[in-house]
């Protein structure tokens, strides 16, 4: 455990270096300076990383501050980076290792060198590092390279070197393990080079595992099913819930709107809505057929705020769905599951083009006393006080009998029917604001038709290669059999004429002698 005196010594050494360089604290980002003054844990990590050497820790701290300033690390968020890179599932945070440390997972088979803009890709890596730091408050993480089904085309030495550089130079004492899952043997030589880039302490943290040995580092209940575990998680990008500071929240509370209800009850709605409900899945409602034959989707919502949140679920086609509960109040730090059922007689394919809208707003003081309060709230509330989260409808693979039914995963269609007065159209009760979706639906259908044709083409190519192998095998066997028969024919001993005459000649007559 690093002593408080050593932490203060590092803090003092930083101030001395500022004076020596004739710089002020404004030379660096204010958030990083605040961490130096207020966050002992951050300074502790630098000291641990360098075995409590204050001078070495200071050098790394100074270099880190410069790097963070040059790369605008404090300004990297979901609005400033390429969201397509974040949503493709090539890297994401999920689950934990045996020590309870978060996993930063890299799906190596999804990365091909040169396909993405390198500078944008680096910013995405920084985003996930920063998000991990915020999520676990600076605790260690385990980097998990999922190399199943990957090959030389997926090997990117620059990418790997950059990751190592981040951990080595700018994120002190951040690595718990580097787990390499099912590495192909063809990459052994490359990893010998990678090991040479790592300090000795980091090399000890590299663990090569397969499905049978993974349990030593990730318990089966936390391991994905593709790793041989029990977790059937499928990556869907979820926006980070960045909570407001107490200072910001108190500022919001100073400016608020009071809403009165018919029964005389009173509660307040914040004039600046910062609900940031965590909604899962984040982009769609997945409909599946239950055991009884009912087609059901689930929307999970979690209130990560310190205040209660009122919510309401709306849809473009209320005649097709039953939503339970359709509205309510979610207590602070509470969760709820919204069950969305398809009405009897509505075909599953008819959800194509339909959308859901999750409305939410922060509450203050007391909850509404009745459902009547909520009705009045949503009738009178200004749209500026409401957070809106859009969800498309998606069908489980078992329901996608017609490939044209499936919905596109792209975002071109998302929002086309929600522009301009979308809240008013929804709260007024009908689906009139969403009547013109034919063109968008056709685009989705065309997209998936092309996808289906592409998959069929791949399957045909695979079958052709299989047939070619069979043909080559058949030809090889025929050639081998021909060679064997020819050899046998050539090595059969022939019947020579002399042997034939000897065998057929009559025996000489024997004349008896007297």
CATH of the domain at 190: 3.40.525.10
Residue 139 has pLDDT above 50, yes or no: yes
pLDDT class for 91, splitting at 50, 70, 90? very high
Q: Does one domain contain both 209 and 87?
A: yes
**Boundaries of domain holding 43:** 4-75
What's the pLDDT at 417? 38
In a domain, 299, yes or no: yes
Secondary structure letter of residue 169 according to DSSP: I
Q: Which residue has the higher pLDDT, 454 or 295?
A: 295
**Who's near 324: CB < 8 A, 6+ residues apart?**
338, 339, 341
Q: Which two tokens stand for residue 241?
A: 């819930």
Q: What is the mean pLDDT of residues 349-354?
A: 82
Residues 97-118 pLDDT 10s = 999 999 999 999 998 888 888 8
Percent of the chain scoring above 70 in pLDDT: 76
In a domain, 48, yes or no: yes
Length of the chain as a residue count? 514
Q: Does one domain contain both 175 and 71?
A: no
| Burial track 143-165 (b if 16+ CB lie within 10 A, e otherwise) | bbbbbbebeeebbbeebbeebbe
Q: Does one domain contain both 59 and 95?
A: no
Q: Does one domain contain both 137 and 189?
A: yes
In a domain, 252, yes or no: no
In a domain, 271, yes or no: no
Beta-strand ranges (E) seen in 366-485 are: 387-395
In a domain, 455, yes or no: no
Q: Does one domain contain both 120 and 198?
A: yes
Residues 240-297 pLDDT 10s = 754 444 444 444 444 444 444 333 343 444 444 455 678 888 888 988 888 788 899 9
What's the pLDDT at 352? 74
Secondary structure letter of residue 491 according to DSSP: T
Q: Does one domain contain both 104 and 185?
A: yes
In a domain, 254, yes or no: no
CATH number where 302 lies: 2.60.40.10
Sign of CA dihedral 422, 252, 306, 30: positive
Paired strand residues for 190 = none
Final residue in a domain of this structure, among 399, 414, 432: 399
Residue 390 has pLDDT above 90, yes or no: no
Final residue in a domain of this structure, among 75, 102, 124: 75
Alpha-carbon span 501 to 289, nearest angstrom: 90
Final residue in a domain of this structure, among 399, 428, 452: 399
In a domain, 514, yes or no: no
Q: Does one domain contain both 11 and 87?
A: no
What's the pLDDT at 448? 57
Q: Does one domain contain both 58 and 110?
A: no
- Strands 175-181 and 141-146 turn out to be parallel
Query: Which candidate, 288, 319, 305, places its Cα nearest to that of 253?
Result: 305
Q: What is the 3-state secondary structure (H, E, C) of 344-372?
A: CCCCHHHHCCCEEEEEEEEEECCCCCCHH
Residues 35-74 pLDDT 10s = 999 999 999 999 999 999 999 999 999 999 999 999 999 9
Q: What is the mean pLDDT of residues 291-317?
A: 88
Q: Does one domain contain both 104 and 183?
A: yes
Secondary structure letter of residue 111 according to DSSP: -
Q: Does one domain contain both 25 and 118?
A: no
Alpha-carbon span 413 to 113, nearest angstrom: 30
Q: What is the mean pLDDT of residues 409-426?
A: 39
Residue 371 has pLDDT above 70, yes or no: no
Q: Does one domain contain both 58 and 97?
A: no
Q: Does one domain contain both 89 and 223?
A: yes
Domains: count for the chain: 3
In a domain, 419, yes or no: no
- Least confident stretch, 160-164, 211-215, 411-415, 499-503: 411-415
pLDDT class for 362, splitting at 50, 70, 90? confident
Sign of CA dihedral 464, 470, 473, 478: negative
Run of H or E residues at 297: strand 295-302
pLDDT class for 365, splitting at 50, 70, 90? low
What's the pLDDT at 277? 78
| 151 conformational bin, left if phi > 0, alpha if psi -120 to 50, beta if neither | beta
């Amino acid at each position: 455990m690093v002593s408080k005196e050593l932490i203060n010594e590092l803090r003092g050494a930083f101030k001395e270096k500022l004076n020596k360089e004739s710089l002020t604290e404004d030379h660096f980002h204010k958030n990083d300076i605040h961490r130096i003054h207020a966050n002992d844990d951050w300074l502790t990590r630098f000291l641990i990383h360098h075995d409590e050497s204050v001078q070495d820790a200071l050098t790394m701290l100074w270099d880190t501050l410069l790097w963070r300033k040059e790369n605008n690390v404090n300004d990297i968020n979901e609005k400033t980076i390429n969201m397509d890179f974040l949503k493709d599932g090539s890297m994401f945070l999920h689950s934990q290792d045996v020590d309870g440390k978060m996993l930063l997972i890299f799906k190596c088979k999804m990365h091909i060198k040169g396909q993405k803009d390198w500078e944008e890709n680096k910013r995405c890596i920084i985003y996930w590092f920063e998000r991990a730091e915020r999520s676990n408050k600076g605790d260690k993480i385990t980097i998990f390279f999922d190399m199943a089904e990957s090959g030389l085309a997926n090997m990117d030495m620059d990418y790997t070197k950059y990751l190592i550089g981040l951990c080595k130079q700018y994120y002190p004492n951040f690595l718990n393990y580097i787990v390499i899952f099912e590495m192909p043997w063809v990459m052994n030589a490359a990893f010998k080079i990678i090991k040479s880039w790592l300090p000795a302490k980091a090399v000890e943290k590299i663990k090569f595992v397969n499905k049978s040995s993974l349990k030593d580092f990730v318990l089966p209940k936390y391991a994905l099913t593709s790793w041989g575990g029990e977790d059937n998680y499928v990556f869907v990008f979820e926006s980070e819930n960045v909570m407001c500071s107490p200072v910001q929240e108190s500022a919001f509370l100073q400016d608020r709107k009071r809403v009165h209800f018919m029964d005389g009850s009173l509660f307040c709605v914040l004039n600046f809505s910062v609900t940031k409900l965590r909604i899962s899945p984040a982009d769609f409602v997945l409909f599946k057929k239950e055991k009884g034959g009912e087609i059901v989707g689930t929307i999970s919502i979690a209130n990560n705020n310190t205040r209660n949140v009122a919510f309401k679920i709306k849809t473009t086609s209320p005649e097709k769905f039953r939503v339970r509960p359709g509205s309510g109040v979610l207590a602070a730090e509470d969760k709820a599951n919204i069950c969305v059922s398809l009405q009897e007689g509505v075909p599953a394919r008819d959800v194509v083009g339909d959308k859901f809208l999750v409305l939410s707003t922060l509450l203050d003081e007391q909850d509404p006393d009745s459902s009547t309060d909520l009705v009045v709230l949503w009738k009178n509330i200004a749209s500026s006080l409401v957070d809106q989260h859009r969800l498309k409808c998606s069908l489980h693979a078992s329901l996608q009998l017609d490939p044209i039914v499936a919905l596109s995963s792209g975002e071109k269609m998302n929002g086309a029917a929600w522009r301009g007065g979308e809240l008013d159209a929804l709260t007024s009760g009908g689906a009139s604001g969403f009547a013109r979706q034919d063109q968008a639906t056709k685009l989705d259908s065309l997209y998936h038709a092309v996808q289906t044709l592409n998959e069929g083409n791949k399957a045909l190519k695979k079958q052709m290669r299989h047939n070619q192998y069979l043909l080559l095998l058949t030809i090889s066997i025929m050639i081998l059999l021909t060679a064997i028969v020819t050899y046998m024919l050539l090595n059969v001993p022939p019947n020579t004429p002399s042997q034939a005459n000897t065998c057929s000649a009559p025996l000489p007559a024997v004349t008896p002698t007297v």
